[in-house]
Amino acid sequence: MSDRANDLRLPPIIGHRGAAADAPENTLAGFRAAARLGVSWVEFDVQLSADKVPVVIHDRRLDRTTSGHGVVRRTPLSRLRQLDCGSWFSPAFVGEPMPTLAEALSEITRLGLGANIEIKPDRGWEAMTAAVALETAAAIWPEAAPPPLVSSFDRQCLAVARQTVPQWPRGLLCRSLPSDWRRAAEEFACASVHCHHRLVTPERVAAVRKAGYQVLAYTVNDRAQAQRLWNWGVSAVFTDSPGVLSPA
């Protein structure tokens, strides 16, 4: 392992979008659910509102996970704040707001969790999304806490992450391992490579680890599959169902 990868201390289970099977994804309630379920790190997705405030939501559009419609980047924060991000999931979460990145990080810090910030830019806003999100995060995140892991499918975002918060670890996020993964992981000085769990093989894990990077796999909601991946040398799996992967 490289020093960068060695310095990245991850738990075997990372809550995906909080704990997406137990509470509405990418909400403060979701982070609290993850903590209650014993998770010590959470992953979540960050985009920009129309007025360039980083907010926590996965889809480009509001329709699936909020009471609103339309595209996140065309909607100002004042409108995003009026949306209900919990009702679609369950009546128990009526009125759950869309967190800003600042609110998300404050709650995650309060809960004592680690954070994987996934930068999910809309097209044309790649560098700006990463820069604004990471400047915001750097102003909030406590120096004493383990630094967040910054990941993105978008390489411009990883380049900006390297410039903006060079001291924070970076993860090369992909579906399958791309043919140029070595070059990319080196270019962005990554600590880890994150792949879709169905596209992870023992050979790929061995190759990535040999090159000095940790391997993470998403999204694993089956205990036997998680165990298989850990046995192959995968450091951590992202799961919607922490309770299923680590039954009490």
Choosing among ligand G3P, Mg ion, none, which partner's interface includes residue 173 (Cβ < 5 to 8 Å by kind)? ligand G3P
Give which of Mg ion, ligand G3P, none residue 73 binds (C-beta under 5 to 8 Å, depending on kind): none
> Considering only residues 46-75, where is the footprint of ligand G3P by CB under 6 A?
58
Spatial distance between the Cα atoms of 27 and 92, rounded to a whole number of angstroms: 13
Contact between 126 and Mg ion by CB under 5 A: the answer reads no
* Residue whose CB is less far from ligand G3P, 16 or 209: 16
- Number of C-alpha atoms within 13 angstroms, CB side, residue 4? 21
Neighbouring C-beta atoms of residue 147, cutoff 10 Å: 18
Answer yes or no whether residue 173 interacts with ligand G3P by CB under 6 A: yes
218 binds, among ligand G3P, Mg ion, none (CB under 5 to 8 A by kind): ligand G3P
Shortest spacing between CB 218 and ligand G3P, in angstroms: 4
Closer to Mg ion by CB, 22 or 118: give it. Answer: 118
| Per-residue H/E/C for 192-208 | EEEEEHHHCCHHHHHHH
The 125-164 contact track toward ligand G3P, x by CB under 6 A, reads --------------------------x-------------
- What DSSP line would sit under 51-83, residue for residue? T--EEE-SSSBSTTTSS--SBGGGS-HHHHTTS
* Closest by Cα among 138, 135, 51, 55 to 100: 55
Q: Give me the catalytic one of 58, 69, 194, 197.
A: 58
Site for Mg ion in 32-61 (CB under 5 A): 45
- Binder among 22, 96, 107, 118 for ligand G3P (CB under 6 A): 118
Q: Which two tokens stand for residue 195?
A: 């792949």
Q: Is 58 a catalytic residue?
A: yes
Q: What 8-state DSSP symbol labels residue 97?
A: P
Residue 78 or residue 99: which is nearer to ligand G3P going by CB?
99
Residue 194 binds ligand G3P (CB under 6 A): yes
Among 22, 43, 107, 126, binds ligand G3P (CB under 6 A): 43
Characterize the bridge pairing of strands 170-173 and 149-152: parallel
Which CB, 45 or 107, lies closer to Mg ion? 45
Residue 78: CB minimum distance to Mg ion, A: 26
Which stretches of the chain are assigned E, i.e. beta strand?
13-16, 41-48, 54-56, 114-119, 149-152, 170-173, 192-196, 214-218, 236-239
The binder of 89, among ligand G3P, Mg ion, none, by C-beta within 5 to 8 A per type, is none
Cα–Cα dist 117/156, whole Å: 15
| Structure tokens, 40 | 């010590």
Residues binding ligand G3P (CB under 6 A): 16, 43, 45, 58, 118, 151, 173, 194, 218, 238
Annotated catalytic residues are 16, 58
